[in-house]
Amino acid sequence: MAISAETLLQLDRDHLWHPYSSISEPLTVYPVRSASGATLTLEDGRQLVDGMSSWWSAIHGYNVPEINIALQKQLEQFSHVMFGGLTHRPAVELGRRLLDLTPVSLQHIFLADSGSIAVEVALKMALQYWIARGEGNKNRIATIRGGYHGDTFATMALADPDNGMHTMFRQLLTEPLFIPRPGCRFGESWDPATMEPLQQLFEESGESIAALILEPVVQGAGGVYFYHPEFLSQARILCDRFDVLLIADEIATGFGRTGKLFGCDHASITPDILCLGKALTGGAMTLAATITTSLIAETISSHDDGTLMHGPTFMGNPLACSAANASIDLLLSSPWRSRVQKIESGLRRGLAPCSKLSAVEEVRVLGAIGVVEMREAVNMGRVQPLFVEHGVWIRPFGRLIYLMPPFIITVDELERLTTAVVEVVRTIEQSQPVTAA
């Protein structure tokens, strides 16, 4: 017998721990009955236009026929087998697709089960590479402040130590070498001085740095900040000059979100290690990939027993690989570039009124990403229900109210999202106390 909606919510409230939430003071959750296209239908029948793409992954929307069919076909064969000592067609076919999409020098693919693990594997690859080279002293990781690379111990160390999501663990983590967030913004005239902190770090500590890890062009959950593509070009040159590996974390930026297939494409650079996730399966299943060069793979494999020391139980899951194959095929056969351009235009137009509000620090848009940065942190407990009342699903964090809608969103649905943002921001502004000048 099906439980009632009230019982469902009570059980959830009493026993389920949601991401970034408190058990003692839980935020309101909204039970979803179904999802299709860009619409979430709640148990009570209310329909919400989705502005989050399920944390940026559901680029095709929900209940996608092509992905559903792929999952059903694979389910009739087997849902999972261990990847240790076995292989299967969906994984091999996915490997072929990824080789076709990524730079030719990236030849070896590790199929992980989440974005955080993909980054963990990338870090491990970089460290094992230098150990295999007999240069184990190159064991530090450099990164940019304001980034986000995951929630596991190695990845959360890469978050900003002062303003990131994991500052409480700071004393327990192996702190990387930080450089400031690139000051030259996307769309501005390039300032060569932007590279001075990275060059200085490499000059002072390059002999101990194994790799530089960054999110190309767009920093994601660390602040949704857009920086100049030339930083990537110059970072690639400096990494080569100082013998430092370059890791590109494209988990949030991959598969068209920024207007290019990958963030690195804005600068036409090739990293030594590439991390993919989120939209890899169109949001249908959890899957990620870490892709590297033959040089790195062969060097690791020539040392001692030649083993890359990582192996998640569910790596290369056949259902997830089948979903990824269908998602990639669907993306490439769709007019995704024009769709993203239309979303970018709609976001610029729809969010523009926010820039005139005193509660707003900045409005920025790139590709299918729209951000309203507030001057003060958003009260989630108060703001989330306001968005639901407007018939949209938008989940802010910190000072950011942002949109990353599915690529298939309609003009009317996008306008509904941006209108809701403007109205809620106005409500926030009206509720804030007025201070004397």
9-63, pLDDT tens digit by residue?
999 999 999 988 888 888 899 999 999 999 999 999 999 999 999 999 999 999 9
Active site residue 20: yes
- What is the average per-residue pLDDT within 417-434? 89
DSSP letter, residue 79:
S
What amino acid is encoded at 190 in this protein?
W
pLDDT of residue 304: 86
**pLDDT class for 2, splitting at 50, 70, 90?**
confident
| Dist CA 403 CA 148 (whole Å) | 18
By the 10 Å C-beta count (0-12 exposed, 13-18 middle, 19+ buried), 318 is classed as buried
- What is the average per-residue pLDDT within 106-123? 97
Contact 425, 355 (CB under 8 A): no
Is there a shared CATH topology between the 31-60+335-431 domain and the 67-333 domain?
A: no
Task: Give the pLDDT confidence of 306-363 residue by residue, as tens digits.
Answer: 899 899 999 999 999 999 999 999 999 999 999 999 999 999 999 999 999 999 999 9
How many CA atoms, within 13 angstroms, populate the side-chain half-sphere of residue 196?
6
Q: What CATH number is given for 31-60+335-431 in this structure?
A: 3.90.1150.10
Q: Which residue has the tokens 């060069």?
A: 293
| Dist CA 271 CA 103 (whole Å) | 9
- What is the average per-residue pLDDT within 253-263? 98
Which one of 20, 73, 100, 240 is the catalytic residue?
20
pLDDT of residue 306: 83
pLDDT of residue 434: 46
Query: Residue 171 pLDDT > 70, yes or no?
Result: no
* pTM, full prediction: 0.95
DSSP letter, residue 4:
P
Which one of 50, 62, 138, 148 is the catalytic residue?
148
Active site residue 305: no
pLDDT of residue 321: 98
Active site residue 73: no
Dihedral of alpha carbons 132, 133, 137, 140, sign = negative
Domain map (residue ranges) of the chain: 31-60+335-431, 67-333
Active site residue 129: no
**pLDDT class for 103, splitting at 50, 70, 90?**
very high
**pLDDT class for 169, splitting at 50, 70, 90?**
low
- What is the average per-residue pLDDT within 154-158? 88
pLDDT of residue 424: 98
CA 200 to chain centre: 29
pLDDT of residue 437: 35
Which one of 260, 272, 278, 402 is the catalytic residue?
278
DSSP letter, residue 87:
-
Which one of 50, 113, 249, 265 is the catalytic residue?
249
| Dist CA 310 CA 313 (whole Å) | 10
Query: Residue 265 pLDDT > 70, yes or no?
Result: yes
CATH class of 67-333: alpha beta
- What is the average per-residue pLDDT within 87-116? 97
CA 328 to chain centre: 17
